[in-house]
Structure 1
Amino acid sequence: MQSPVFSKQPGSIVYPLDAVEKNREVMFSCEAQGKPPTLYRWKLNGTVISVKSGGSHYSLSGGNLRISHLNKDHDAGTYQCLASNSFGTIVSREASLTFAYLENFKTHRRNSVSVREGQGVVLLCGPPPHSGDLMFSWIFNEYPSFVKQDHRRFVSQETGNLYIAKVESSDVGNYTCVVTNTVTKTRVQGPPTPLVLRSDGVMGEYEPKIEVQFPELVHGAKGSTMKLECFALGNPVPSISWRRVDSAPFARKVDTRKVSGVLEIPYFQQEDAATYECVAENSRGLNTVKGKLSFYAPPHLIEKPEDIQKSIDDSLVWECKATGKPKPSYRWMKNGENLESTEERVQVANGALSISRLTLADVGMYQCVAGNKHGEVYSNAELRVIAVAPDFGLNQLRSQTLVKEGGDVLIECKPRMSPWGVISWRKTAEPLRESNR
């Protein structure tokens, strides 16, 4: 006999809608060990899914959930697997289903952009409706002539816009934004934007004007690669440099030789959290922009509850602790539902669950859930509460006790039993009653 324990849990899925398929379908994995055999249910956004056999939109294969004829309006959301047997129910971690797509640009023409030679310019991309990460590039005049990025030209991977710090006569021509969805691998091109030179003279020198800047606060996940963009227009072409405001040196993992318009920090850690400053400078002056990189980490359990067996009327204390930033909060579940007891004997505080005066109704599967805004982690434990008939096996009465006549004697009676029962005494065959003697 075994309570349910997950051996496979679902993972999040990003489905590329541009895939050419007659029957679009996905499958979420779920498998649990248990005796009696485990039964499965699934929830979408907290509501149990109705799974019917044969040709249904939802179907089960073991514990796995297959979703056929996908519809992004109805099927996108958060899924959870519930595994049950006679010992109780456990719920899996959350797994999301999202859809990646990239629509076409609207095909209307774009107006030409007219600038003086020596002036800076920004050409807007304006990507079409999409879901999923995008990658941007620009074609100059005709494919396959792409704009090469250097100290004078920059393509933002945040906005898709093309920035030319100082326009030269060789820059005149048509510019076309190319957008690639990194999930669906599809690519679309925008309408060309003509860049022309004005005939009323050349732009004089001017100090840097930072057009690409990172937010004042950027949240970085533990272990991720952080990229901060910074680029300025100016004449002469500004140089871009970076520094930490706390004057600490950059970690070795930051390749300062590559740093120009993008500061890249791989494998982001707590010590990389700081305020960073981008400095754009030329002979006419300098300009700066600052932003803070903050560190976050999803919860990680460091102390988990263990399966336990208790007697009726005993007390239970389960500890649950997790690391994470921000500091995780805790909730407890019983048999797949949030534990919201109105009884004083059931208390949850700082992750610990305590239950006093246990009853058979407390039996079941419990889960501690530690979460912050970056995720949740689950830990399972089974509580068994047993009733025990009176048993003197561990504390038998002594067969003979020697006492002094007129003295006092204490004969202990300590049977093992659950719940605690009524104890009575007999002398030979006669019941004993309390007296004042």
Structure 2
Amino acid sequence: MAVEEGGVARFQCLIQGVPKATITWERNRPALPPGDHRFTLLPAGILQITGVQRADVGSYRWVASNVANSRCSQEAQLAISVSAPKLYKEPMILSGPQNLTITVHQTAILECIQPASHCLLEPTRWALHRRGGDPGAGNWQPHDLGRLGETRRGLRVRCQPAWHPVCRTAQGILMVQAPPEFVQWPQSVSKPLGSHAIFTCVAQGVPEPHLIWLKNGKILVPSETIKLTHNNSTLLLQGLTVGDEAIY
């Protein structure tokens, strides 16, 4: 790729292996200089170089190693492009946020990359639209994306170059999944014959968990006297008999 001096370069390489490979990037064969904050390694095998300098020009490749073997990718060239200087340019998004599914407490990294010459006055603005609404309805809200790990709802995120009257946006969907956990457990009861018993079990998670009832370790099948309601969270046993005595 060729980018303007001071711009952003982005290389991506995908690899599979068991166990998971250790990844390093090289420029002109030696490893990239450690401690240079301009070089960022992102998930999914992405190398991002911000504030590109003439010293960054060269050949880049990815080296993946595990106990089985080491592999080197093909080389990609980074060059400096020259363009006529302009004070203003219509905004352009080189790489926008991708759809992403993670679990709670994981880190979500969302990209929105513009050419350096398009970021003269203000940085990119981020906004979100919570799940369940119409993303075209205009009710996007600015948000601190650093707090998204605390939510369990689906979010549609959008980045937008803020300063130019011409609007360019890119959006992706972030789904934050949560493992099932019980909010309410069924309580033991003692009932006379012929009466009825109710057990309640409530669980939450994303996606919404499916509840299955067991009787003495075997799946309980609904019948005329066994009723499951409220998305299987309530179990009703009617006309109790001796055979209903069990662990549920």
TM-score range, shorter chain: 0.5 to 0.7
Aligned partner of 1:346: which letter? Answer: I
Q: Secondary structure at the match of 1:231?
A: coil
Say whether the 8 Å CA contact 1:227–1:264 is kept in structure 2. no
Instruction: Give the distance between the partners of 2:21 and 2:107, measured in 1 at CA.
Output: 16
Alignment equivalent of 2:187, drawn from 300, 306, 330:
306
Alignment equivalent of 1:331, drawn from 193, 207, 212:
212
Q: 1:202 to 1:192 in 2, by over 3 A?
A: same
Which residue number corresponds to residue 214 of structure 1? 97
Say whether the 8 Å CA contact 1:224–1:268 is kept in structure 2. no
Residue 164 of structure 1 and its aligned partner are, at CA, apart by: 5.2
Identity of aligned residues (%): 21
Instruction: Give the distance between the partners of 1:299 and 1:203, measured in 2 at CA.
Output: 54
Specify the structure having the higher radius of gyration (Cα).
Answer: 1
Which residue number corresponds to residue 44 of structure 1? none
Which residue number corresponds to residue 344 of structure 1? 224
TM-score normalised by length of structure 1: 0.41
For these two proteins, the number of residue pairs brought into alignment is 227
Indicate the structure whose relative CO is greater, using CA pairs within 8 Å and at least 6 residues apart. 2
Which residue number corresponds to residue 55 of structure 2? 170
Equivalent positions of 1:356-367 (< 5 A) are: 356-366=238-248
Which residue number corresponds to residue 140 of structure 1? 27
Residue 362 of structure 1 and its aligned partner are, at CA, apart by: 2.5
Per-residue Cα deviation, 1:143-174 (whole angstroms, up to 9, x for no partner): 44348453xx654423x133557865423323
Say whether the 8 Å CA contact 1:346–1:354 is kept in structure 2. yes
Say whether the 8 Å CA contact 1:171–1:195 is kept in structure 2. no
Aligned partner of 1:348: which letter? Answer: L
Residue 176 of structure 1 and its aligned partner are, at CA, apart by: 2.1
Alignment equivalent of 2:14, drawn from 100, 103, 126:
126
Alignment equivalent of 1:157, drawn from 43, 54, 57:
43
Per-residue Cα deviation, 1:182-234 (whole angstroms, up to 9, x for no partner): xx9x9945235152659xx844467554333223x5455444433212223x3
Residue 332 of structure 1 and its aligned partner are, at CA, apart by: 0.7
Instruction: Give the distance between the partners of 1:135 and 1:282, measured in 2 at CA.
Output: 40
Say whether the 8 Å CA contact 2:10–2:47 is kept in structure 1. yes
TM-score normalised by length of structure 2: 0.66
Aligned partner of 2:111: which letter? Answer: E
Instruction: Give the distance between the partners of 1:171 and 1:303, measured in 2 at CA.
Output: 58
Which residue number corresponds to residue 133 of structure 2? none
Match status 1:321 vs 2:209: no
Q: Secondary structure at the match of 1:139?
A: strand
Q: Secondary structure at the match of 2:243?
A: helix
Higher strand share: 1
Instruction: Give the distance between the partners of 1:268 and 1:329, measured in 2 at CA.
Output: 23
Match status 1:228 vs 2:120: no
Q: Secondary structure at the match of 1:236?
A: helix
Unaligned runs of 5+ in 1: 1-112, 251-262, 367-437
Q: Secondary structure at the match of 1:123?
A: strand
Residue 138 of structure 1 and its aligned partner are, at CA, apart by: 1.8
Instruction: Give the distance between the partners of 1:180 and 1:211, measured in 2 at CA.
Output: 30
Aligned partner of 2:28: which letter? Answer: N
Q: 1:224 to 1:132 in 2, by over 3 A?
A: farther
Instruction: Give the distance between the partners of 2:218 and 2:179, measured in 1 at CA.
Output: 23
Q: 1:330 to 1:191 in 2, by over 3 A?
A: closer
Aligned partner of 2:169: which letter? Answer: T
Equivalent positions of 1:5-404 (< 5 A) are: 115=2, 122-127=10-15, 129-130=16-17, 137-146=24-33, 148-150=36-38, 155-158=41-44, 160-163=45-48, 168-179=53-64, 188-191=70-73, 193=75, 195=77, 202-204=82-84, 209-215=92-98, 218-219=100-101, 221-232=103-114, 234=115, 236=117, 238=119, 240-245=123-128, 246-248=140-142, 250=144, 264-265=146-147, 267-269=149-151, 274-280=155-161, 287-294=168-175, 296-341=177-222, 343-350=223-230, 351-366=233-248
Aligned partner of 1:228: which letter? Answer: L
- The CA RMSD over aligned residues, in Å, is 4.2
Unaligned runs of 5+ in 2: 129-139
Say whether the 8 Å CA contact 1:140–1:173 is kept in structure 2. yes
